[in-house]
Structure 1
């Protein structure tokens, strides 16, 4: 058995975890030696009692390692372990680095230039717009956007990065055989199709739970060079992720919100406690000394996508940028009156993830706007 297979096996066992595995390897020499050790030798390792020793010693009767690897290969999922050179360097430095990463899509060297965007599942229109705009701006400038594929802010962050034709990593709190939330399966497929990767440390059929989401959060924090909190209440998983990033010595940015809005209480508190206030992606890029965001996407939260030209008249940003076939098809359908999303889906024939990403790009470049009642129309 190889070290890679041994890591996968250890990761599938209950009650073990990265910290115990590290102690076992320090004592026994490697993951393969851990699985072949005697019960008595295992239980004398610090933090390993009779119960855990028995679980490890009887590992072959508890899991089906061959089936797990076979199914991952069948699904086109790459299994990356601590034994692999392709394992993300940023995660190796965690106190409890994941033993295994199941990767649907592809990881690239440039993904080390990553920024996390997190926030509330129940976000306002303001939070939605900010999440999309920050992700669009950062991804368009070459950063990889890391988030958790959750409802709300996470979803819009991934969509914003895709609309910019950039990179995004979705770290989920379940196994890849049970993507959660299920309504984001289309978005997950879109990410894996060429815009990044959907990643999990959990065996394929692990169900989401109160335990798996905090574990997911540490990966988001560890992978990211900095954390952006867009919108969250006073108590939120996003705050946990932000605090983890801060404890790791990474910059934490927060988008301010109205002082009387509960959904902004967490961000406002972060700013009060020392997080860096930001109103657009360029604020973050300035800190990282990166090139400015292109003029057509330099839009802050709540701002319009128009600016005065030298003659004093408003000109639409992005008006001269080339358009894809999907963008042209949408604009042609919207040539008369604004439409609801269901109407656009029917008229354009586009898949929902493609439609969402294309609409966002058109909005970011000033060609579309949202009207009251959920309607979408031309500027």
Structure 2
């Protein structure tokens, strides 16, 4: 057994965790020696009691390492350890960095320029559009968007990033990669992994989501990102936990203000009262973070700005039709001659780009 396999084995064992493993590594010097240590030696490590020592001593009967590695290979996944170049430097500097990361897709050097966008699972139209627009604008400017693949704001943040030209996004999930959660986001996960970023988990392949795994996921989102943007969330939620964790790590917290009578805005408004930076668009964040190079900038030292791609085809036709007035959907159909499904898809993209807004009913106008 080599060091890599020993670390993966330790990560698969229950009731161990990265903090205890780090203490044992300080004591024994290598992961292989931990797995072969006797009970008394293990119990001399701070935090290792008889139960934990017994789990480690009996590791070969508790997990099937060979099967796990074979399944990872069969699925076309990879496992990244802290010794690998792909392992995010920001995670290494956190208090309890994951021992390993199971990766579906690819983690690139450019993903070190990362911002988290998080929020409520139950979201309003306002929250949905805001998350998409922020993610699109920030991803267009070279930032990698990190979120949790959850329903609501997380999903829309990933969608907005994917809509940007060359946009990248990292989805950190609270389950194993063999148990994508929520299951209805499998198609979104596939799109992310197919050249637009990665779906990442610290948990063994077949780990089911639980109340314990989601907070663990949140700490990775907070640690990976240079700052956290909270779009919409109630007073107490996973998004607030992520923001609080990021604050404890010294990261900047941005919050989008919401209506004072909406429960889903209470968390953001509270964060602003507590000192989070109020933001109303991606440009506010880019102005604040002025040291990040553009992903495709010709002059890397320039301050990043939001650069929207040129409109082509259906985008150009619809945008031109809305030049002088707002139009109903029927009017857009008549003016452009485009099929309804294409108009719906294009209008959504133009909304994400921040160029078009939906008014009452099915009426649209330039923003």
* TM class, shorter-length: 0.7 to 0.9
- 1:1-379 to structure 2, matched below 5 A, reads 1-165=1-165, 166-289=167-290, 290-294=303-307, 296=308, 321-323=311-313, 360-365=348-353, 369-370=357-358
TM-score, normalised via structure 2 length:
0.86
Q: CA 1:346–1:191 in structure 2 vs 1: closer, same or farther (change >3 Å)?
A: farther
Tell me if the contact between 1:160 and 1:360 (Cα under 8 Å) persists in the aligned partners: no
Task: Give the Å deviation of 1:362.
Answer: 2.9
Structure 1 gaps of 5+ residues are 297-317, 349-354
Tell me if the contact between 1:335 and 1:378 (Cα under 8 Å) persists in the aligned partners: no
Q: CA 1:78–1:378 in structure 2 vs 1: closer, same or farther (change >3 Å)?
A: farther
Equivalent residue, structure 2, for 1:352: none
What SS does the corresponding residue of 2:195 show, helix, strand or coil? Answer: helix
Task: Give the Å deviation of 1:4.
Answer: 1.1
TM-score, normalised via structure 1 length:
0.83
Q: CA 1:114–1:27 in structure 2 vs 1: closer, same or farther (change >3 Å)?
A: same
Tell me if the contact between 1:23 and 1:45 (Cα under 8 Å) persists in the aligned partners: yes
Separation in structure 2 between the aligned mates of residue 109 and residue 14 of structure 1, nearest angstrom: 32
Structure 2 gaps of 5+ residues are 291-302, 320-327
Task: Give the Å deviation of 1:133.
Answer: 0.7
In the alignment of these two chains, the number of paired residues is 340
Separation in structure 1 between the aligned mates of residue 205 and residue 238 of structure 2, nearest angstrom: 23
Separation in structure 1 between the aligned mates of residue 340 and residue 355 of structure 2, nearest angstrom: 21
What SS does the corresponding residue of 2:79 show, helix, strand or coil? Answer: strand
Q: Which moved more, 1:229-238 or 1:83-92?
A: 83-92
RMSD: 2.6
Task: Give the Å deviation of 1:49.
Answer: 1.1
Tell me if the contact between 2:137 and 2:353 (Cα under 8 Å) persists in the aligned partners: no
Q: Which moved more, 1:36-45 or 1:88-97?
A: 36-45
Task: Give the Å deviation of 1:144.
Answer: 0.3
Equivalent residue, structure 1, for 2:294: none
Tell me if the contact between 1:115 and 1:144 (Cα under 8 Å) persists in the aligned partners: yes
What SS does the corresponding residue of 1:179 show, helix, strand or coil? Answer: coil
Which deviations, in whole Å up to 9, do the C-alpha atoms of 1:323-347 show, x marking residues without a partner?
58xx69999xx995679xxxx9995
